[in-house]
Structure 1
Amino acid sequence: MELPRAVNDQTGRFDTDIGAISSADTLTPAQRYQELFVAVQMQRVFPDSKTFVDCAPRKHPERILEAYRARCEVPDFDLAAFVHEHFSLFEMSAQEFVANPNDTLSEHIDRLWPVLTRHPREHPEYSSLLPLPHDYVVPGGRFTELYYWDSYFTMLGLDESGHCDLLRAMADNFAYLIDTYGHVPNGNRTYYLGRSQPPVFALMTDLFEENGVHRASDYLPQLHKEHSFWMSGGDVLRAGEAARRCVRLVDGALLNRYWDDSDAPREESYLEDITTARESVRPAHEVYRDLRAGAESGWDFSSRWLDDSHRLSSIRTTSIVPVDLNSFLYQLERQIARLSEIMGKHGPALRFRQLAEARQAAIGRHLWSEATGAYLDYDWRLRQQRPNLTAATLAPLFVGLASQRQADRVAQTVEARLLTPGGLATTEIGDSGEQWDRPNGWAPLQWMGIRGLQNYRHDAMAAEIEKRWLSIVATLYESEGKLVEKYLLRPCTEHAGGGEYPLQDGFGWTNGVTRKLMQEDPSHQANRCRASR
């Protein structure tokens, strides 16, 4: 089979029809607007800190900054009026969407895909948006850009809805991001460039191949680049040391943690981070780094990363070796080994098989708890497992690195401690106020849990999680005609809460996982429910 047109088989890069976007301006809003940025965020001109960093300037940023400096000391200077005069709120193809009461849930999701699809024909000059060459699907609500790990779960639904064109476009977008920036950023915004998200590109490549989008082996150069990003600095570490995303444990094992290259407040949560750091006795820059690393995890935020489940300021993400991150990296190493073998590259194939086996062994030694019957995160600074049981314990089952005995123990533990009336609980902590804790449930965790259990023949429990989750999603759809970012895991019409921002409608990964699960369980009532309005 010939390589697809987008792939240059000489360079391994994915070519694009949009000229010169690889040299896109990567200045962040804080770098560009300096003291104006600080004033806008600290004085909370917008209720949501993300609003300003997504704005587009109406004139050259240097002229705006000059105007601000000339006027900011004038009596009765109105900062909000100045901002609205010089910036336009970031909007991309805003569309009205009202649920059709005659639509089934699957029909509703299929009608949402065009609403959530962005067509990057024009790029707002000097905005924080990183241009992409092809169409892409956004989560919805305040999230108007492409997100990394969200997109994998969204793609599950695009596949089920028959949107192979969008799968192909997003495949090339992710390859483009890796080629251009060396990794997939958290999202395609300049202020996200210092961090990534859970590395699921290897999972995407299997999905692309299964649906005839591209061969998985076409992405081997990008898989190598992503692995290099996560392992940067690891080869020179001594026992007990850490650098960037790598941790060398005392027995010499090399595992990974979440990280961010910056130790400043997140620009999209600037005031919130400063407030959090002020509540800590630790140096502010350490708190900022841990908040950013928590954002890279995708679990932003959770008691999982906290020493005190009631205080976000106790966050210690960079001290923690997470179960799911290392499971995804095991999958990445296995994928590189498999595809290298297919391509006749036996040396790299052997090397990455050995890396995967070493990681699997290290996970078994340090993250497996025989006493708990579960995989637990590991505190590399304290040299002990974290006591928090979370849904991440199913990630080793999802990627197939657990033994059958370990999988059986995990299934028993999860059934006893994390199974709720609405599906798989995120953690056991229910009063933290953080959104990645009880009582909230999340579509990606349901999917990984279901698939992980199925991988080890725990089909009945997987089916029970699927049944309960679909019932929760269907209940809210019937009452309000929408899907949302997260759900309360009990039969009700109340909304999930917690976290830094209000509940978001849309919603990419909920749509994707729900659409896929409904197809796999056609007898479920969710396939027959309709919106009441």
Structure 2
Amino acid sequence: MLLAETILASGGHAPGVEHVAPADIMTPADRYQELFVAVQSGRVFPDSKSFVDCVPRRAPEAILRAYRAGNAAAGFDLSRFVAENFTPEPVVASRYVSDPGQSLAAHIDGLWGVLSRHPDDHAAHGSLLPLPHPYVVPGGRFSELYYWDSYFTMLGLAAGGKHRLLHAMADNFSFIIQAYGHIPNGNRSYYLSRSQPPVFALMVGLLERHGLRQAVRYLPDLLREYAYWMDGADGLCPGEARRHVVCLPDNMLLNRYWDDRDTPREEAYCEDVATAAAGTRPAADIYRDLRAGAASGWDFSSRWLGSPDDLSSIRTTAILPVDLNSFLHLLERQIERLSRLAGDEARAVLFHRRAAIRRRAIDRYFWQPEQGAFVDYDWALMRHRPQVTAASAVPLYVGLASHHQAHRVAATLAERLLLPGGLATTEQHSIQQWDRANGWAPLQWMAIHGMRRYGLYAQARDLSHRWLATVAGLYAREAKLVEKYAIGSAPDGLGGGGGEYPLQDGFGWTNGVTRMLLADYADHHAHHARAGRVRH
């Protein structure tokens, strides 16, 4: 019996879950085996993600039998076979056209319905994992719920007063944790082997700040998520690692990104096979690190690479990320606080101690006073990673930095990453999308609110205004928001580049962050931007 079914039988607390059909957790590669390899290797679809998102027209077992029976026959046409047996998932968000006179905030509010998906959209036998409530997807090729994207999307729902949808998003994640023991990268079967930055504690805090939910109801979910990230920690000796946990020489425990599989990502099969073929390490090691890089949300970045221009040099699992451990520190503090509210003082004391230990470890392994920044730590080579990245702002965002550290970080970010259009992702120019000079909405938000948290209001306002000008510039010219922005020149609103796929329109977390910043800065000229009307 699936865990999801067990929860339903035991009366799990997420409302509406009794209407959710049991999920098919077999991935397309597991399900279709050599047919999967043939379709992906043969490039039946230009985008590797297209096939794994297809819905079968009949029972998957029958499709595989038919392929095995006929593929060796003369004249067999693989593309025709796929077209006869699978329905591609349509891209729907691109059909939205903004009214030429529409403001940026009104455009974003109008997009929520376009980007929303509903339980009755979940076709049987596809890779989409069913959810009990409506949810918001990023847009473009990303037609499923994504974990860390969703927190930043939810900011915009809160700012726009979309409280019912905000509730639904949180309860979907609660259901997912109950059903699978963790929140996968997205609600697809091929994402179940990994998670993403653990931000459910931030979602709970967002609901609480808006007076919408009693946060204690989510305590069991937070505990399950914490158990997932710390699985294998017991019994580790110095220098050992198991799944997400690394035991350092001083016996301190910190976390890394991980994926339980060491095969090509199903949604990027051809790309991963080519990357591994170009490398010198065992293919399985490269696949694992590519998957772990996807789990980080920074897929991909020189942050994870041995050589900035060589993706096959990726070594994500050898790197302890400062942002991941900052989010887990917040999770520990949230569990402590809610345990105390629930009357469980013993658990509150335990998690207070765990949070204090992690904070000491973050200071010891990530803080670099000579750089004035928090940087990642390479636990395999036992040395700090050399470059400063926008992840240095996350300790400020979650409130674990000291006053001195926060002011040093803000100065360093201004000196080394601040560009005319916002905060660059890293110092390194590369062909990877999570590098300079791309700017991403979630990184701007965490830096802005991290600085605000420590009283650095002028710096926060400056960054906010740069980012809003960037987003408004592209909106005024092209009547849309996009996944990432090129911020290296004047903030005239250029879409970002690099990465494994074309620039995507939509876009969930850009909408969410921008909508909340518009609410925070009512005087910014971005409020006057109109679709298709460029100001001169």
Tell me the TM-score normalised to structure 2 length.
0.96
Letter matched to residue 511 of structure 2: N
CA shift for structure 1 position 127: 0.2
In 1, Cα distance between equivalents of 2:249 and 2:291? 26
The 3-state SS of whatever aligns with 1:312 is strand
CA shift for structure 1 position 94: 6.3
Contact in 1 for aligned 2:93/2:140 (Cα 8 Å) = no
Question: What corresponds to 1:516 in structure 2?
Answer: 516
CA shift for structure 1 position 92: 7.5
Which residue among 479, 484, 487 is the counterpart of 2:485?
Answer: 487
Contact in 1 for aligned 2:471/2:493 (Cα 8 Å) = no
Question: What corresponds to 1:291 in structure 2?
Answer: 290
Question: What corresponds to 2:253 in structure 1?
Answer: 254
Give 1:36-435 correspondences, 5 Å limit: 36-91=35-90, 96-430=95-429, 432-435=430-433
The 3-state SS of whatever aligns with 2:356 is helix
CA shift for structure 1 position 314: 0.2
**Cα–Cα, structure 1 residues 232 and 133, in superposed 2: closer, same or farther, change >3 Å?**
same
Q: Write the deviation string for residues 175-223 of structure 1: whole angstroms up to 9, x where unpaired.
A: 0000000001100000000000000000000111122332111100000
Letter matched to residue 117 of structure 2: R
Contact in 2 for aligned 1:164/1:211 (Cα 8 Å) = no
Please, which moves more after superposition, 459-468 or 490-499? 490-499
Question: What corresponds to 1:443 in structure 2?
Answer: 441
**Cα–Cα, structure 1 residues 493 and 145, in superposed 2: closer, same or farther, change >3 Å?**
same
Q: Write the deviation string for residues 390-440 of structure 1: whole angstroms up to 9, x where unpaired.
A: 00001100001011111111111111101110111100001x200000110
When the two structures are aligned, how many residues end up with a matched partner?
Answer: 524
Letter matched to residue 471 of structure 2: V
Letter matched to residue 479 of structure 1: R
In 2, Cα distance between equivalents of 1:492 and 1:46? 34
Percent of residue pairs identical: 59
CA shift for structure 1 position 346: 0.2
Q: Write the deviation string for residues 95-119 of structure 1: whole angstroms up to 9, x where unpaired.
A: 7311101100000001101000111
Letter matched to residue 518 of structure 1: L
In 2, Cα distance between equivalents of 1:213 and 1:493? 35
In 2, Cα distance between equivalents of 1:454 and 1:266? 38
CA shift for structure 1 position 60: 0.8
In 1, Cα distance between equivalents of 2:13 and 2:281? 43
Contact in 1 for aligned 2:92/2:140 (Cα 8 Å) = no
Q: Write the deviation string for residues 337-396 of structure 1: whole angstroms up to 9, x where unpaired.
A: 011111111000000000000000000001100111100100001111100210000110
In 2, Cα distance between equivalents of 1:255 and 1:522? 41
In 2, Cα distance between equivalents of 1:218 and 1:494? 43
Q: Structure 1 runs of 4+ off > 3 angstroms?
A: 10-13, 17-20, 91-95
Contact in 1 for aligned 2:259/2:295 (Cα 8 Å) = yes
The 3-state SS of whatever aligns with 1:307 is strand
In 2, Cα distance between equivalents of 1:212 and 1:29? 41
In 1, Cα distance between equivalents of 2:345 and 2:90? 49
**Cα–Cα, structure 1 residues 294 and 141, in superposed 2: closer, same or farther, change >3 Å?**
same
Query: Could you list the runs of 5+ residues in structure 2 that have no partner in the other structure?
Result: 1-6
Q: Write the deviation string for residues 425-469 of structure 1: whole angstroms up to 9, x where unpaired.
A: 100001x20000011000000000000011111111111110000
Letter matched to residue 497 of structure 1: G
In 1, Cα distance between equivalents of 2:385 and 2:129? 37
CA shift for structure 1 position 69: 1.3
Please, which moves more after superposition, 244-253 or 69-78? 69-78
In 2, Cα distance between equivalents of 1:15 and 1:467? 40
In 1, Cα distance between equivalents of 2:433 and 2:67? 37
Structure 2 residue 462 is matched with structure 1 residue 454: no
Contact in 1 for aligned 2:127/2:190 (Cα 8 Å) = yes
CA shift for structure 1 position 15: 4.0
In 2, Cα distance between equivalents of 1:258 and 1:117? 29
CA shift for structure 1 position 298: 0.2
In 1, Cα distance between equivalents of 2:190 and 2:96? 29
In 2, Cα distance between equivalents of 1:118 and 1:155? 15
Please, which moves more after superposition, 245-254 or 73-82? 73-82
In 1, Cα distance between equivalents of 2:220 and 2:250? 31
Contact in 1 for aligned 2:375/2:387 (Cα 8 Å) = yes
The 3-state SS of whatever aligns with 1:453 is helix
The 3-state SS of whatever aligns with 2:483 is coil
In 2, Cα distance between equivalents of 1:249 and 1:456? 31
In 2, Cα distance between equivalents of 1:492 and 1:284? 42
In 2, Cα distance between equivalents of 1:516 and 1:95? 23
Contact in 2 for aligned 1:13/1:179 (Cα 8 Å) = no
The 3-state SS of whatever aligns with 1:314 is strand
**Cα–Cα, structure 1 residues 198 and 516, in superposed 2: closer, same or farther, change >3 Å?**
same
In 2, Cα distance between equivalents of 1:401 and 1:210? 19
Q: CA RMSD in A?
A: 1.5
Letter matched to residue 439 of structure 1: A
In 2, Cα distance between equivalents of 1:305 and 1:14? 37
In 2, Cα distance between equivalents of 1:251 and 1:17? 45
The 3-state SS of whatever aligns with 2:328 is helix
Give 1:459-474 correspondences, 5 Å limit: 459-474=457-472
Contact in 2 for aligned 1:477/1:483 (Cα 8 Å) = yes
In 2, Cα distance between equivalents of 1:471 and 1:78? 51
Question: What corresponds to 1:4 in structure 2?
Answer: none
Tell me the TM-score normalised to structure 1 length.
0.96
Question: What corresponds to 2:3 in structure 1?
Answer: none
Q: Write the deviation string for residues 274-304 of structure 1: whole angstroms up to 9, x where unpaired.
A: 1000111100000000000000000000000
In 2, Cα distance between equivalents of 1:17 and 1:391? 38
Q: Write the deviation string for residues 459-513 of structure 1: whole angstroms up to 9, x where unpaired.
A: 1111111000000000000000000000000334543110000000000000000
Contact in 2 for aligned 1:302/1:434 (Cα 8 Å) = yes
Contact in 2 for aligned 1:340/1:346 (Cα 8 Å) = yes
Contact in 1 for aligned 2:469/2:493 (Cα 8 Å) = no
In 2, Cα distance between equivalents of 1:151 and 1:375? 25
In 1, Cα distance between equivalents of 2:479 and 2:233? 49
Letter matched to residue 398 of structure 1: Y
Structure 2 residue 529 is matched with structure 1 residue 529: yes
Structure 2 residue 450 is matched with structure 1 residue 475: no
Query: Could you list the runs of 5+ residues in structure 1 that have no partner in the other structure?
Result: 1-6
In 2, Cα distance between equivalents of 1:140 and 1:92? 8
Contact in 2 for aligned 1:12/1:221 (Cα 8 Å) = no
**Cα–Cα, structure 1 residues 227 and 243, in superposed 2: closer, same or farther, change >3 Å?**
same
Please, which moves more after superposition, 74-83 or 153-162? 74-83
Contact in 2 for aligned 1:167/1:213 (Cα 8 Å) = no
